[in-house]
Structure 1
Amino acid sequence: MGGRGIEARGALAVLAAPVVVLLVLFVIPFAVLVQMSVLKFPPRTTSGFSLEHYQEVLTDPLNFKIALTTFGIVTLAMAVMLLIALPLAYFMVFKAGPREMFLLLALVIVDELAPVVRVYAWQVILGRNGLINWMLPGPSLDWLIYSPFAVVVALVTSYITYTTIPIYAAMKAIEPVTLEAATDLGAGWFQQFWRILVPLAAPGMFVAAILVYIPMYADFVAADILGGPSSYLLGQRIRDVILEQGDWGAGSAMNLVMLGLSGVFALLAYRMSKMNRMQT
């Protein structure tokens, strides 16, 4: 009995540290965020409670317009990353051979570069007097910089590692004999890709959506440096509402609305990945 009691206390002591960290870094800030979103005049806790901030956020036409812009840019960036990540992961798993670990290491090393430095590098490359315009004859291509195109490029290069590695891990579990059997049965490369690789890689794409698609909605660094009026994103809107307008209630409500929508999206992505797995 005494030995089991000591083991139980030891297990509790080991678990105490991560629980305290979780409380301090997540639960308490989240509770403060919820409180700020329902106070009439935050951060005054005696100002009474109201849902006015949520009504303001959900009925403001400007927020709706910014949300549509963000959805378009983020979805396009995610689609481009999937178009890159799926064939890249396939090549790494089935074709790279001894170069597989080198490519995987290269992906990780590229991601080690500071995000702000990476975005500023694209400013040098895409700028009106940048590398691309210097190499091309004729007038400068002004749409390369301070545009949705530049923001998409920056987002793709910032998150491509987190898109590729989960898909790579999912494809790593696919036995090569599966594709060989499909070839023997007369399946072409497109049928193999669409009917075998994509469904079996669906769990990896689900993880990529959680790691990449959802966080991109709150990203504002790329849009701040490379974007313009036509690429003003929700992350910038929330920052400006809180820091420039000082409206902590509306900013907190916007954060929680985005969190709720992210949860719905994650659930839908999970259900779709399960359906794809069941169909295979």
Structure 2
Amino acid sequence: MAHRPPTLSERVRALLRGRTLVIGTPFVWLLVFFLLPFLIVLRISFAEMDGAMVSDLFTFANDELYMKLKLQNYLSILSDDLYWSTYLQSLLYAGATTAICLAIGYPFAYFMARAPSTVQPLLLMGVMLPFWTSFLLRVYAWKGLLDADTGWIGTLLKAVHADALLLPLGLISAEGQFMYTPFSLLLGMVYTYLPFMILPLYGTLSKLDLRLLEAAQDLGATPWQAFWRITVPLSKGGIIAGAMLVFIPCVGEYVIPELLGGPETLMIGRVLWDEFFSNNDWPMASSVAVTMVLLIIVPLAIFNRNQSQEARK
């Protein structure tokens, strides 16, 4: 018996099933591992501590359902300078880390993309190599490397009088004091998150059509003009992706400020830890976390909306 070819309606249903599976799987993942945990944290932020437990938002008594929302935590964030200063400091350090990673990562990614095809896998492995070692161990190693007396990097910085440049900039607190300063914090964050900037840039630059650069040179553009007018605009997607991959985790970073930072480098991750585990105030910590997420997501959502509107024009 000859096999009957599928009808048009059967093909449409099969296509929809495939699209539903492909599109639905990431949505289910985000729902289970992002939205639901965020809603739990949001719920705790409106509650209050009842001994060692968190109070319920809904109570049922006398055939009536009551909802009790505590707004004091969010009002405290608005009125307490500690939270605003740590939020601002976290954004500043995250922004500085992103800018430094872009300044270092773009030339490196450009060199990788222009390197011979036989060398590119070796360079890519060099970027990925730090991931083979524990993140905590890599950060902790900088404590010994930056010591001005025993660490070879600290000794080198002291020998070349780098502190004479870092001290006026406020990156270190005293001559020869490279640890527990903004300098050590930025160094650790740049070292940790630099690969997250290089990889998206390399993926974008490696796909760039070199014939566009040749055409620009034929029209009289200098290499520098061709770079700024063609290469940089066409790599905009990689720049944005790398900036997001670096900036977002840097804002809530806890381990690096704890190990390499000092009292003047207090970031919001440390405040969250103190509220959760030192003060045992889960509602206040949840309020801080929700505010931090909103400070990141809302600007990104506005930016993506503007990008989508520009793309439609």
TM-score range, shorter chain: 0.7 to 0.9
Partner of 1:193: 227
Partner of 2:34: 26
AA partner of residue 42 (structure 2)? V
Deviation for aligned residue 1:25: 3.4
Q: Deviations over 1:60-90 (max 9, x none)?
A: 1111111222222211111110001111111
Partner of 2:61: none
Deviation for aligned residue 1:26: 3.1
Structure number with greater Rg is 2
Q: 2:46 aligns with which of 34, 38, 53?
A: 38
Partner of 1:162: 196
Matches within 5 A, 1:3-22: none
Q: Is the 8 A contact 1:143 1:149 kept in 2?
A: no
Q: Is the 8 A contact 2:100 2:190 kept in 1?
A: yes
Cα 1:16–1:165 change in 2 (3 A) is: closer
AA partner of residue 155 (structure 2)? W
Partner of 1:183: 217
Q: Whole-Å Cα distance in 1 between the matches of residues 306 and 104 of structure 2? A: 21
Deviation for aligned residue 1:19: 7.4
For the aligned residue pairs, the C-alpha RMSD in angstroms reads 3.3
AA partner of residue 71 (structure 2)? L
Q: Whole-Å Cα distance in 1 between the matches of residues 312 and 26 of structure 2? A: 36
Tell me, yes or no, if structure 1 residue 108 matches structure 2 residue 123: no
Q: TM-score, normalised by structure 2?
A: 0.76
Q: Is the 8 A contact 1:199 1:273 kept in 2?
A: no
Aligned residues: 274
Cα 1:35–1:269 change in 2 (3 A) is: same
Tell me, yes or no, if structure 1 residue 133 matches structure 2 residue 154: yes
Tell me, yes or no, if structure 1 residue 205 matches structure 2 residue 216: no
- How many percent identity over aligned positions? 28
Q: Whole-Å Cα distance in 2 between the matches of residues 62 and 127 of structure 1? A: 30
Gaps of 5+ in 2: 1-5, 59-67, 164-174
Q: Is the 8 A contact 2:252 2:269 kept in 1?
A: yes
Cα 1:264–1:25 change in 2 (3 A) is: closer
Q: Deviations over 1:146-165 (max 9, x none)?
A: 11111111111111111111
Q: Whole-Å Cα distance in 2 between the matches of residues 259 and 20 of structure 1? A: 20
Cα 1:231–1:185 change in 2 (3 A) is: same
Q: TM-score, normalised by structure 1?
A: 0.85
AA partner of residue 242 (structure 1)? F
Partner of 1:121: 141
Tell me, yes or no, if structure 1 residue 267 matches structure 2 residue 301: yes
Deviation for aligned residue 1:187: 2.2
